[in-house]
Structure 1
């Protein structure tokens, strides 16, 4: 009954996790470069 909502939330959560991973990788790369 509430599947579309949970699917949408899950997609948003995955998107946030990917963005966090990209930012974290970028920050680590920046630190290593220096």
Structure 2
């Protein structure tokens, strides 16, 4: 159970980081495109 919980936390953390990076890239892309 301990390993499963750890993997779940790591997976959720990675997903959150991935979404944050994607959002940042989209924001920068729009900002650059606006210019």
The TM-score with structure 2 as length reference comes to 0.86
Cα shift at 1:21: 0.4
CA RMSD of aligned residues (A): 0.4
Unaligned runs of 5+ in 2: none
Runs of 4+ in structure 1 off by over 4 angstroms are none
Cα distance in 2 for residues equivalent to 1:5 and 1:30? 37
User: How many residue pairs were aligned?
Assistant: 32
